[in-house]
Chain A
């Protein structure tokens, strides 16, 4: 009997101790969590989704801010890229515990802004610090605007660009006289000839891109080609399909002409594209400029990056997105905190030459025109792409990593593989879009 008692008392004591210790250890975050307030662990709480090279650059920029603003503390939290990040940002803001500064892709901005999750730039004190329209790449600033109100300070433009192997380009006779860029080309026919020449030079492929199981890349590529001929595929905040059938069929025919002729593989994933381009088995790589840091590490690879030439239609188009800085809506944030947040954003913009090391084109014109940026190669070669930027159409379902990109991208992948004809692919895209235009939107947009 006494043995049982002792054991029970021991267990009770141990459990009680463990509970007290646990409560004491997390009392502050727990208490503030229960009352629903963001613990003010720093003057500026900053959420972003950058890891790898971009993450390292962002840390440098945060440190620069700390150095120049000794009185202001910054706490940066890195969340998982894509949907996990946006889910957390949206839920935290909707429940009244947002960070002071957050990052968003501009393609994701329309829904966040329409949901009332973002503070308009006018009310953040940023204009007083000189953060105004005339200091930004116009396309990015415009995309940060919804119904005439600006909600974000664009940090960069990251376009879909053309990588080329410089040694193979020389062999193929595609280099210009100075040898620092490609000979000017224009139109689908000339581009096709260039890819053919690259195929001969490499002995394997003219061009590669990540196709298999990569709907976002497929969509970026196709969106760029199609945008040369026609406007956005949906209008009226995503409630109306506005596909130009003839233009879309022509675009599909063009992208298929490359894969069908064996100039580029019909199926290849990101690691495959990386391996083939890195080892000189493909002359061109179609991808985002954010791949520059990873190719820099490849020994013996002599590459350059330029904007895509005009393919279909008279002028070049660059599919792009932007990282932008936002101040999530929080009615309880003090004026002093908002002022610190604005100073932090301004500092990141001023420091965006560091950010450009990741390949991105700074959206902040003072940096874009600075020596610190213009001395970066190949970054300075495709600045023009930021001005020709074509973003995702504005709708509740579009944007980086969205379900829309997955659905439409899947159809494009099928077309790239030659599985469906341009006419059928166009019909399939219409059917894909119909799901979204007829679904009940989570938020009504004007």
Chain B
């Protein structure tokens, strides 16, 4: 590369003080490089979002052409007054509360343990990550069989041990247990991979030094591994919260939102009203309420992180 040889008269300041002056060719390259993403982004994210905002003010239906009659804010008012919407929203939050802590802690524990393996490390990495690659429909099918009352693996094991058989698919606590267990098994591989990658960035001499100072394995994990992984944990946590809030497929496939809609997440509520009942405008309003909540959670998280970094830097 020729640029390496160019002598510099003075070191450039790290933070640009004056107005930005990027060369024209670089600007063009920037536009060209981001164009494919921007087109897709505008076409499939911003566009539908704008259409959704417009739809939410009309009594639009999916069975008729056009927007339908203008109804103003009444779709929003009805969504906010519908107890089933808030119930569904609570179910999404509940699912997040049930799944996020174990998914973070288990992934960390498994990554640390797999990292300490002397033999077969690759096997454990693959074994822990493999379920994540399986499509949710397949996972749901397998677990549905295991949970099936009377004939499934779980009920049989429970009754063989002489324990009361939980109703995994037909009762609310059973349903939550069923879907949380399945989700743990299925998705914890992703966080596991993030942690495994972050673990490899921790320099080995830190452990060596700690060992020389007489730190045992548990102390090493507590004093070195966990603090060094803090940025990863923060990332894993927000990704997991957002992923859990967006839950739909596993609950839909395993329980259909039942029993008695007691596990129906908010996305299934939107799906049910928007597609099953053809109430497009109403569904759009519900989507936007939910969208705002997700954005608020992300913004709060971002703000919290920023505040923490600035306050710790000061």
Contacts and interface: CB of A to CB of B under 8 A. Distances in A.
Given A96-B65, A272-B149, A435-B84, 7 more contacts: A116-B64, A117-B63, A267-B149, A272-B150, A272-B152, A404-B277, A443-B64
A442 B63 contact: yes
A442 B279 contact: yes
Interface string A387-427: 00000000011000111101100110110010000000000
A91 interface: yes
A235 interface: no
A76 to B, nearest CB: 23
B257 A406 contact: yes
A410 B258 contact: yes
B71 to A, nearest CB: 7
B63 A271 contact: no
B301 to A, nearest CB: 34
B137 interface: no
Interface stretch (A145-153, A184-192, A210-218, A298-306): A210-218
Interface stretch (B204-212, B234-242, B268-276): B268-276
Contact of B277 (A115, A266, A402): A402
A115 B61 contact: yes
A269 B144 contact: yes
Nearest to B273: A403
B2 interface: yes
A424 to B, nearest CB: 12
A223 B62 CA distance: 28
B15 interface: no
A268 interface: yes
A275 B78 CA distance: 44
A356 B276 CA distance: 29
Nearest to A8: B29
Q: How large is the interface on B (under 10, 10 to 19, 20 to 34, 35 or more residues)?
A: 35 or more
A272 B275 CA distance: 30
Most buried by A among B169, B254, B275, B278: B278
A212 B71 contact: no
Interface of A: 1, 83, 87, 90-91, 94-96, 111-112, 115-117, 211-215, 265-269, 271-272, 275-276, 396-397, 401-404, 406-407, 410-411, 413-414, 417, 435, 439-440, 442-443
B261 interface: yes
A442 B275 CA distance: 11
A276 B149 CA distance: 11
Chain B at the A interface: mostly helix, strand, loop or mixed? Answer: loop
A169 to B, nearest CB: 22
Contact of B2 (A1, A269, A397, A411): A1
A91 B60 CA distance: 12
A95 B62 contact: no
A412 to B, nearest CB: 10
B260 interface: yes
Nearest to B68: A442
Contacts of A91: 62
Contact of B170 (A211, A402, A411): A211
Interface in B130-170: 144-145, 148-152, 167, 169-170
Given A271-B144, A272-B151, A442-B279, A406 B261 contact: yes
B115 interface: no
A330 to B, nearest CB: 12
A118 to B, nearest CB: 11
A268 B62 CA distance: 35
Contacts of B258: 212-213, 215, 410, 413
Interface in B26-69: 59, 61-65, 68
Given A90-B62, A272-B150, A410-B261, A212 B278 contact: no
Interface of B: 2, 59, 61-65, 68, 71, 78, 84, 144-145, 148-152, 167, 169-171, 254-261, 272-273, 275-280, 282
Given A269-B149, A442-B278, A443-B63, A407 B261 contact: yes
Contact of A212 (B149, B279, B282): B149
Given A211-B170, A265-B149, A271-B148, A440 B59 contact: yes
Contacts of B254: 213
Contact of A406 (B148, B171, B272): B272
A407 B62 CA distance: 21
A269 B49 CA distance: 38
30 contacts: A83-B276, A87-B62, A87-B275, A90-B278, A94-B62, A95-B65, A117-B64, A212-B167, A213-B170, A265-B150, A267-B167, A269-B144, A269-B148, A272-B149, A272-B151, A396-B278, A403-B272, A403-B273, A403-B276, A404-B277, A406-B261, A406-B276, A407-B261, A410-B258, A410-B261, A414-B259, A414-B260, A417-B259, A440-B282, A442-B61
B256 A440 contact: no
A283 B116 CA distance: 56
A439 B63 contact: no
A266 B148 CA distance: 13
B150 A83 contact: no
Contacts of A410: 258-261
A324 to B, nearest CB: 17
A266 B255 CA distance: 16
Contacts of B59: 440, 442
Contacts of A112: 63
A433 to B, nearest CB: 13
A364 to B, nearest CB: 28
B156 to A, nearest CB: 12
Contacts of B259: 212-213, 410, 413-414, 417
Contacts of B170: 211-213, 266-267, 413, 417
A276 B150 CA distance: 9
Contacts of A413: 170, 258-260
Contacts of B148: 269, 271-272, 275
